[in-house]
Structure 1
């Protein structure tokens, strides 16, 4: 059975750090062909609420499962990894180059706390799915 690397912690980064990084990356994306080495691409994601849980899905086509890492705190999910290029492209002249390779990362701050104990994740056909259970307030 294959496993997805999941780490748990309380410090996945702050929204301030994320917005500063986005500002820097905005200028790198002006002409990506000149900045491909430094850039971090962001996979498309869906986040939905279902009953007592939250489901996070990330489209990671072309990424091997062993190159995906999920980090979870009680209020955030961070998905990161690396999409490796199959070849160097030597001897090719690109007419269009839109597929991003290299490091990727997404940090999602959740609107409710979640229970780290009951995380379930799967990776099928390039789609990572993480199921999280909401942490319900304790009634006294």
Structure 2
């Protein structure tokens, strides 16, 4: 009975191939980077993440959709015939609904403009690295 767990990584063949992504390769790559390089990379990734979060803010999506649909329904209300208005018991329901949708969509977009999402807080080490990089430029 042989014990398969006692084999070293070099015996298994997975860590001995050049270009493989084993634990040994990542240790060699991480030794190549300095702490400052890693902090800058983390800072860049956090900035990209914050930008993506602001881009896909739910208020932007809801506001944009309500404005687009509000314009469509308002146009349908403006061009409504007398027969369409009679079906709704004399109320131009498309016009009023479209204007309401426009108002709600504009509310969401104004809210987004007045209260944007806050950028994420950086850890003190990353903040120092960002400030050093900005001073170096």
Q: Which one has the bigger helix percentage?
A: 2
Please give the TM-score of this superposition, normalised by the length of structure 1. Answer: 0.24
Q: Which one has the bigger strand percentage?
A: 1
Query: Larger C-alpha radius of gyration, 1 or 2?
Result: 2
